[in-house]
Structures are given as structure tokens and as C-alpha cells.
Amino acid sequence: MYRGTGHLNFAQGEMAMLSAFMAWWLADNWLPIWAAVFVCMVFAFILGAVIERVIIRPIGKRSVFAVGVAAIALLLGINALAPFAWKVSHPEPIASLFPNKPTSFITIGGAHWRYENIGALGMMLVVAAVLYVLFQKTKLGLAMRAVASNPDSAPLAGIKTGQVLMMSWGLAAAVGALGGVMVASLRGNVESSMMLAIFFSATAAAMLGGFDSLVGAVVAGLVLGVIESMGAGYQPEIIGQELKGSLSLVIILVVLVLRPSGLFGSRRVERV
């Protein structure tokens, strides 16, 4: 989202959760799970584009900081809307995207690798590669980066800023929808709070890697995940599962002090 628009969408996780509910509803009633994923990604793309056009753009013309406040309002509103719209008060089971039987794993180096985890990792790498090609090799990606970098000067180069921002929000929502369904599939159920902890972890990874670096966010996410798991596993009495998230917080604080743009983020140079 930040790479394409220059905005931080605090409601990204809740939009993904809403799309996961849509996929659950479709898969539970009419469609195979992968067809439901495709439909919910289209739904999320339209939702993201409409939110940008109807809410974010008018507010952004008045105040850039108000966009963040509006995103927080969207977070709270969508979090309350999803269980109300589908009339659910407890986690609802959802079909798995990948084989998830007790025997659905392979052993590598003495460790069991479940097919659903391998599938999720492979999907992440595919999406990251597609986004990298989009931002680095296409005119649309160049336009997105130009708008995010300098929205005032981008129209002077013939870029239709409004259309690019709608496309960026729609694309971010569609990718988030895929991520939301993947999370629900790994959990085995959907519920309104399923993306909150993941949103904070993803934000931490983006801050560590750099908000404008796709590769940095992926690498930082993997590094933080490994550090948290190792800290909880090797120091169960001191850290454990309850405090493993604090390791990421400490690392982020150190990185922000030493390199505020993140490990892979580009330094912003301003003329005075």
C-alpha cells in the first residue's frame, strides 16, 4: 500500500478479514474454495477502489494526517461490521486451500514440513515476485511509485493520479484478501479478530525492512518470525509464547534509532 500510494492503511488487515468472511460464505454455500478466493479478491479490489474514491481522496485533500484517522475508523468499523453482516458470534470453520490431513507433510532434515505451510510460503513468494515485476518493470508500477513519491508533480508527467491511487488501493486490497484467506485456511476458521495480531506483526516487518522496500518487508518478516520462535523455544521460562512479540519490539526500536528508514528502505533527501 505505502509503495503504491504513500499512505499507511491501518484498515488493511480488517479489509482482508472482511474478504475472508466473503470467501467462507461463498465456499460454504456455492463455490469451491479456490473459486471463492478469486471472487473475494475481485470483491476486495472493488472495495479498495471505492474506499479510496469515496473516503480517502476527499479527506486527503484537506489533511494528510486525517487519512490515518480515517483508516483507523475503517479498522474499527469493518471489525464490527463483519460479524454483524454474517450474523456470527464464534469462529466459523473454513475449507483448507492445501492438503491438511495429519499425514500431509514431508520430512526435511528431521523437521516436518506441512503441505499447507509450504503452500503458504510458495504463495507468498509468487505474490512478492509478481509485485516486484509490477513495480519495477511496468508503466503502471512506475506510475504508482511516482504518485507515492510526489503526488503533486506526478500529473505534470501525464500521470492520472486519481486512477493510479484507485488502482493501488484496489490492488492492495486484493492482495490482502488473498492473505486473509490464507490465514483463515491455516487457522481452520474465520473470526473478526483473526487479523489484528497479524497486522501488528506485518507492520513491524514493514518498519524493520523499510516501508518502500518490498524485498525488505519479506526478508524482515521471515527474520522476525525466526527470532520470535527461537526466543520462545530456547528461553521458555524467560520469554515463552507470551513475550516473544517483545523481541520484535526491541529490534524495531534499535533499528529505528540507528536507521529510521528501515534496513532496506531508501533514505529521503529533502532540499531546503
CA atoms of 87 and 78, how far apart (whole Å): 14
pLDDT at 244: 73
Q: Which helix (H) or strand (E) element contains residue 112?
A: strand 111-114
Q: Give 21 or 1, the one with higher predicted confidence.
A: 21
Question: Which of the four pLDDT bands, split at 50, 70 and 90, describes residue 1?
Answer: low
> pLDDT for 77-105, tens place per residue?
888 888 888 888 788 888 888 888 888 87
Q: Is the pTM of this model over 0.85?
A: no
Share of residues in the chain with pLDDT > 70 (%)? 93
Q: Say whether pLDDT at 197 is over 80.
A: no
pLDDT at 7: 67
Calculate Rg over the CA atoms of the chain: 19
pLDDT at 268: 59
Q: Give 248 or 57, the one with higher predicted confidence.
A: 57
pLDDT at 36: 92
Share of residues in the chain with pLDDT > 90 (%)? 15
Q: Say whether pLDDT at 178 is over 60.
A: yes
| String of DSSP letters for 143-193 | HHHHHHH-TTTGGGGT--HHHHHHHHHHHHHHHHHHHHHHHHHHHTEE-TT
> pLDDT for 125-173, tens place per residue?
899 889 889 888 888 888 888 887 777 788 878 888 888 889 988 998 9
Mean pLDDT of 112-128: 87
pLDDT at 38: 93
Q: Say whether pLDDT at 182 is over 80.
A: yes
Which pairs count as long-range contacts for 48-52, CB under 8 Å and 24+ apart, including other chains? 48/15, 48/169, 48/170, 48/171, 48/172, 48/173, 48/174, 49/166, 49/167, 49/169, 49/170, 49/173, 51/15, 51/169, 51/173, 52/5, 52/165, 52/166, 52/168, 52/169, 52/170
Q: Say whether pLDDT at 215 is over 60.
A: yes
Q: Say whether pLDDT at 267 is over 70.
A: no
